[in-house]
Structure 1
Amino acid sequence: MRVEEFTIEGRNAVLEAYRAGKTIDKLFVLDGCQDGPVRTIVREARKHDTILQFVAKERLDQMSQTGKHQGVIAYAAAYEYASVEDILAAAREKNEPPFIFILDGIEDPHNLGAIIRTANLAGAHGVIIPKRRAVGLTGTVARTSAGALNYTPVAKVTNLAATIEELKKDGLWFVCAAMDGEVMYRMNLTGPIGLVIGNEGEGVSRLVREKCDMTASIPMKGDIDSLNASVAAGVLAYEIVRQRMQ
């Protein structure tokens, strides 16, 4: 899931990355290592809410590209994250009702990249992803988005359910994709809207689903039971586009 050019190894390199304001998605630290420089790095990680994992030396050795990790390896984001406010500002600038993708735990970087590409082409103002149990903006995601990451802001939040609650105060309502929902063609999907797409295996989590106002399903005619997450996002997004154009 990672891309080598965005892997940072060694104490000085990781500390410099933090001091330069680089977004570090995940930090791996040698378990039990208590010396000063490593403690400083761990402090920085906690300050920036980086996902922190303490691992055995064998694991670091396996992950290392240089063989000189000095007990620390960081995965840095390939692109800078936006804020949720940046996404709302993008809608205001275009004088359009906000249209936001909320992705609940997408783990495959190809799926995330494809969804960001679809979000851009469907005219969505941004994409929101969670900090944990989901892929971040890796180089693979950037490549799969086919340049869309340069134009479509992606925000990373600690709590998706709380973010949905906040966005409701801005007038958005939320529709989540689920097999047992109302058929999307029978729904009114106009106005300020958040489209919630779930994880490749489990779908939308219970907590996030409970915050949604409506549940939409895609009619299925075949012999298997579900679409790939990025395809489902595309199908639902374009029903929203169709209704917004009327």
Structure 2
Amino acid sequence: MNEDFIPFLMSSIIFLPTVGALVLLLFNKEAVEGMRYTTLIFTVLTFILSLLLLASFDPADPGIQPVNKALVASANGGVVDPLHEDRGVTVEWIKSWNIYYRLGYDGISLPLVLLTGLISALATLASWSIKKQVKGYLILFLLLETGMMGVFLALDFFLFYIFWEVMLLPMYFLIGVWGGPRREYAAIKFFLYTLFGGVLMLISMLMFYFGSAGDGAESTFNLLRLAAIGQGRVPGILFSQGLQITAFILLFIGFA
């Protein structure tokens, strides 16, 4: 597969459901069957794109993919990239905060992308019997898929956080409007838990960001560099034990 196509492919997997949600806005709310089939088409197309991503995966490379060959040196046909910092797709976003639109995948995140695409298509079929405010339901469902795909492909902590919050907002309304008998209670409880968890995650994210500076290096949200620092593979920079323990507790509670 053409390596220049992979960045477009990953972005398409994330944002194709959003395009589908925008298309649904053009439908009359009475055109229920048309909206259902449109949603099914977009979810199936997203799953097909995830299969193309699987076809591009190199099982012999344990690191993040795709590999940016313009930045990563090669020796005897093998990749020389000890810190794995220059992998994935990187586009400058908010330069003042060193925030990038950074995407990538590995042997853990790729199966989750495939599973999300498959379950989203199956969930569309399973929700065929929904009669209440079908247009709103399908739009929120597609936005939820965008958030989930973004979470699994993001390599920038700030970008990950954005997709995480994007994922939670549709879930709140899906639970509150189309949930079970106690949906209002469940939605409020979900909102309070996720709000509290989001604040803790934001605090831990900023702790890592400011703790990643040193030895002439700028603070970063790059998850690959943060992982390298945490593992002691970046000379002159190391997260303190207190920072690591505190951030772990905050993230553990935030995700729980």
Structure 1 length normalisation: TM-score? 0.25
Q: Greater strand percent: which structure?
A: 1
Q: Greater helix percent: which structure?
A: 2
Structure 2 length normalisation: TM-score? 0.25
